[in-house]
A and B are shown apart, each in its own frame.
Chain A
Amino acid sequence: MSLTTGRGERDYADGNYVAIDAGWSDAPPRKGFFTDTSVCIGCKACEVACKEWNGVPEDGLNLLGSSYDNTGALGASTWRHVAFIEQARPMGRQDAGLAGLPVGPTATGSVNQVAANQVAANQVAAQMVAGEVSQLGTSTRAVELGMPSFELPGVRAEAGDRTDFRWLMSSDVCKHCTEAACLDVCPTGSLFRTEFGTVVVQDDICNGCGYCVPACPFGVIDRRIGEQGTKNVGIAQKCTLCYDRLGSGQTPACAQACPTESIQFGDVEELRERAATRLAALQAAGVSQARLYGEDPEDGIGGAGAMFLLLDEPEVYGLPPDPVVTTRHLAEMWHMAVAAAGTLLVGAAMSFIRGRR
Chain B
Amino acid sequence: MQDLQNSDCIVIQGSNMAECHPVGFQWVMQAKARGATIIHVDPRFTRTTAVADMHVPLRAGSDIAFLGGIVNYILSNEKYFRDYVLAYTNAATMLREDFRDVDEVDGVFSGYDPETGTYDTSTWNYQGMPAQESAASGEESRSERAAGHEMGGHGASLEHGRVRRDETLTDPRCVFQVLKRHYARYTPEMVQEACGVPPEQFLKVCEAVTANSGRDRTTAWVYSVGWTHHSVGVQYIRGAAIIQLLLGNIGRPGGGIMALRGHASIQGSTDIPTLFNLLPGYLPMPKVGEHGDLRHYLATISSPDQKGFWTEADSYTVSLLKSFWGDAATADNDYCFDYLPRLTGDHGTYQTVMDMLEDTVEGYFLLGQNPAVGSAHGKMQRLAMAHLKWLVIKDLNMIESASFWKDSPEIDTGELVTKDIGTEVFFFPAASHVEKDGTFTQTQRMLQWHHKAVEPPGDCRSDLHFFFQLGRKLRERLARSTLDRDRPLLDLTWDYPVDDKGEPSADAILREINGFHLSGEKAGQPMSSFTEMKADGSTSGGCWIYTGVYADGVNQSARRKPGREQSWVAPEWGWAWPANRRTLYNRASADPDGKPWSERKAYVWWDEPAGRWTGHDVPDFPVDTAPSYRPPQGTGGPKGLAGDDPFIMQGDGKGWLYAPTGLLDGPLPAHYEPHESPVDNPFYRQQANPTRQVFRRKDNLSNPSAPEAHWEVFPFVFTTYRLTEHHTAGGMSRWLPYLSELQPEFFCEVSPELAAERGLQHGGWATVVTARTAIEARVLVTDRMVPLRVGGKTVHQIGLPYHWGVGGNALVTGDSANDLFGVTLDPNVHIQESKVASCDIRSGRRPTGPALLEYVKDYHRRAGITIYTGNDQRTPMPGVRLTRPEQDGAEGETGPRQGDPS
**Pair A95/B783 contact, Cβ less than 8 Å:** no
A-B contact pairs, 28 of them (CB 8 A): A39-B29, A43-B19, A44-B725, A51-B738, A57-B737, A58-B740, A59-B741, A63-B744, A68-B743, A70-B743, A70-B744, A71-B741, A95-B54, A95-B201, A95-B204, A97-B786, A100-B201, A107-B752, A108-B783, A114-B762, A146-B763, A148-B763, A149-B763, A154-B753, A155-B756, A166-B50, A260-B22, A261-B29
Contacts of A3 in B (CB 8 A): none
Q: Name the interface residues of B734-790: CB closer than 8 Å to any CB of A.
A: 737-745, 747, 751-753, 755-756, 759-765, 778-784, 786-789
Q: Name the interface residues of A54-74: CB closer than 8 Å to any CB of B.
A: 57-63, 65, 67-68, 70-71
A57 and B741 CA atoms in complex are apart in Å by 11
**Does A259 reach chain B (CB closer than 8 Å)?**
yes
**Pair B742/A167 contact, Cβ less than 8 Å:** no
Interface of A is mostly: loop
Our pick among B783, B786, B789, B812 for the contact of A86 (Cβ within 8 Å) is B783
**Pair B744/A48 contact, Cβ less than 8 Å:** no
**Pair A65/B780 contact, Cβ less than 8 Å:** yes
Binary interface encoding of chain B residues 433-463 relative to chain A, with 1 for a CB under 8 A from any of its CBs, else 0: 0000000000000000000000000000000
**Pair A260/B45 contact, Cβ less than 8 Å:** no
**Does B300 reach chain A (CB closer than 8 Å)?**
no
**Pair B50/A41 contact, Cβ less than 8 Å:** yes
**Pair A47/B57 contact, Cβ less than 8 Å:** no
**Does B23 reach chain A (CB closer than 8 Å)?**
yes
**Pair A106/B47 contact, Cβ less than 8 Å:** no
**Pair B742/A47 contact, Cβ less than 8 Å:** yes
The distance from the CB of B812 to the nearest CB of chain A, in whole angstroms, is 6
Q: A41-B25, A67-B782 are in contact. Are A97 and B742 (CB under 8 A)?
A: no
The distance from the CB of B278 to the nearest CB of chain A, in whole angstroms, is 33
In order of increasing CB-CB distance, the 3 nearest A-B pairs are A100-B198, A58-B737, A147-B763
**Does A120 reach chain B (CB closer than 8 Å)?**
no
Apart from A61-B740, A94-B52, what 16 extra A-B contacts exist at CB < 8 Å?
A41-B47, A41-B48, A42-B50, A45-B22, A48-B739, A51-B738, A61-B744, A67-B782, A70-B741, A101-B57, A101-B786, A148-B764, A152-B755, A154-B752, A259-B22, A259-B25
Our pick among A94, A100, A106, A149 for the contact of B761 (Cβ within 8 Å) is A149
A65 and B761 CA atoms in complex are apart in Å by 11
**Does A165 reach chain B (CB closer than 8 Å)?**
yes
Contacts of A149 in B (CB 8 A): 761-764
| Size of interface on A: residues with Cβ below 8 Å to B | 64
A48 and B53 CA atoms in complex are apart in Å by 28
Chain A-chain B contacts (Cβ-Cβ < 8 Å), number? 187
The distance from the CB of B798 to the nearest CB of chain A, in whole angstroms, is 15
A294 and B786 CA atoms in complex are apart in Å by 37
The distance from the CB of A238 to the nearest CB of chain B, in whole angstroms, is 18
**Does B724 reach chain A (CB closer than 8 Å)?**
yes
Contacts of A101 in B (CB 8 A): 57, 196, 198, 786-789
**Pair B738/A58 contact, Cβ less than 8 Å:** yes
**Does B336 reach chain A (CB closer than 8 Å)?**
no
**Does A98 reach chain B (CB closer than 8 Å)?**
yes
Q: A95-B53, A167-B45 are in contact. Are A111 and B782 (CB under 8 A)?
A: yes
The distance from the CB of B39 to the nearest CB of chain A, in whole angstroms, is 9
Contacts of B270 in A (CB 8 A): none
Contacts of A154 in B (CB 8 A): 752-753, 755-756
A67 and B780 CA atoms in complex are apart in Å by 8
**Does A52 reach chain B (CB closer than 8 Å)?**
yes
**Does A337 reach chain B (CB closer than 8 Å)?**
no
**Does A241 reach chain B (CB closer than 8 Å)?**
no
Q: A63-B747, A152-B756 are in contact. Are A94 and B54 (CB under 8 A)?
A: yes
Contacts of A201 in B (CB 8 A): none
**Pair B742/A48 contact, Cβ less than 8 Å:** yes
Contacts of B170 in A (CB 8 A): none
B740 to A, closest residue via Cβ: A61
A7 and B747 CA atoms in complex are apart in Å by 58
The distance from the CB of A56 to the nearest CB of chain B, in whole angstroms, is 9
B763 to A, closest residue via Cβ: A147
A61 and B25 CA atoms in complex are apart in Å by 28
**Does B26 reach chain A (CB closer than 8 Å)?**
yes
**Does B51 reach chain A (CB closer than 8 Å)?**
yes
**Does A304 reach chain B (CB closer than 8 Å)?**
no
Our pick among A110, A169, A259 for the contact of B26 (Cβ within 8 Å) is A259
B35 to A, closest residue via Cβ: A285
**Pair A43/B57 contact, Cβ less than 8 Å:** no
A78 to B, closest residue via Cβ: B741
**Pair B761/A152 contact, Cβ less than 8 Å:** yes
Q: A41-B18, A63-B778, A101-B787 are in contact. Are A71 and B762 (CB under 8 A)?
A: no
**Does B246 reach chain A (CB closer than 8 Å)?**
no
**Does B56 reach chain A (CB closer than 8 Å)?**
yes
**Pair B762/A94 contact, Cβ less than 8 Å:** no
**Does B200 reach chain A (CB closer than 8 Å)?**
yes
